[in-house]
């Protein structure tokens, strides 16, 4: 009997030690899980903060481009210092806009690296980015481009548009790619600056900032 009791007590003590060990391990695991959850929450917060900062940065970049227009179609021969005087003389005639004062530019240049001369002469000329001295004149040019067909010069189509950041331009292209589907559905829609689209969805007018939501 004494041997049996001693054996039971020894086994009980061993089980208690095992339970204490398991409890210690469980406590350690719970602490690790808590730490991982806290890190994940911090990471989510940091991701959200990063998205917010990127959005603000993109908005600031778009605002910094408000006085700029992008012109596509002018011949490659126009370059250098001649660009200012060429645009000052040509844009009012081309658009039919009567400006309150002559167009003045802070900068005007071709976009991107110069193309080798060996390229086919039929390659479309690089766009011109022109930063106007007066914001109102930039808006007049952009508004005219929105409400009229592209201008024509010596049989060449000349397009004028606002200049946006890369991220905004990509989002606008994604919205524009959706237009055929909306037309097929006979839905009304519109694209606002810088990259927001409204459309009739389920009979209700809604605003969309992400093309994937449409």
pLDDT at position 91: 93
Buried b (16+ CB within 10 A) or exposed e, 72-94: bbbeeebeeeebbebbbebbbeb
pLDDT at position 87: 93
The Cα 96–Cα 91 span in angstroms is 8
pLDDT at position 3: 62
Q: What residue ranges of the chain have pLDDT lower than 50?
A: none
How confident is the model over 140-198, as pLDDT tens digits? 999 998 888 888 888 888 999 999 988 888 888 888 888 888 788 777 877 777 777 87
Query: Nearest 5°: CA angle at 207, between 47 and 50?
Result: 10
Report CA dihedral (10, 13, 15, 18) to the nearest 10 degrees: -130
Q: Tell me how long the chain is.
A: 214
3-state helix/strand/coil string of the chain: CHHHHHHHHHHHHHHHHHHHHHHHHHHHHHHHHHHHHHHHHHHHHHHHHHHHHHHHHHHHHHHHCCCEEEEECCCCCCCCCHHHHHHHHHHHHHHCCCCCCCCCEEEEEECCCCCCCCCCCCCCCCCEEEEECCHHHHHHHHHHHHHCCCEEECCEEEEEEECCCHHHHHHHHHHHHHHHHHHHCCCCEEEECCCEEEEEECCEEEEECCHHHC
pLDDT at position 205: 81
């Amino acid at each position: 009997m004494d041997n049996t009791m001693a054996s039971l007590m020894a086994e009980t003590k061993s089980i208690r030690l095992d339970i204490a060990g398991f409890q210690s391990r469980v406590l350690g695991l719970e602490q690790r899980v808590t730490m991982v959850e806290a890190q994940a929450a911090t990471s989510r917060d940091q991701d959200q903060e990063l998205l917010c900062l990127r959005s603000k940065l993109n908005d600031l970049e778009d605002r910094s481009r408000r006085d700029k227009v992008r012109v596509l179609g002018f011949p490659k021969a126009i370059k250098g210092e001649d660009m200012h005087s060429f645009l000052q003389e040509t844009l009012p005639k081309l658009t039919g806009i009567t400006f309150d004062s002559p167009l003045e530019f802070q900068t005007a240049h071709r976009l991107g690296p110069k193309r080798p001369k060996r390229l086919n002469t039929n390659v479309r000329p690089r766009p011109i980015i022109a930063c106007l001295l007066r914001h109102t004149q930039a808006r007049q040019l952009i508004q005219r481009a929105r409400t009229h067909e592209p201008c024509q010069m010596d049989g060449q189509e000349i397009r004028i548009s606002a200049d946006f950041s890369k991220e905004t331009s990509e989002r606008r292209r994604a919205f524009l790619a959706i237009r055929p589907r909306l037309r097929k559905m006979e839905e009304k829609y519109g694209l606002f600056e810088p990259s927001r689209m409204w459309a009739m969805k389920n009979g209700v007018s809604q605003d969309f900032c992400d093309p994937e939501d449409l």
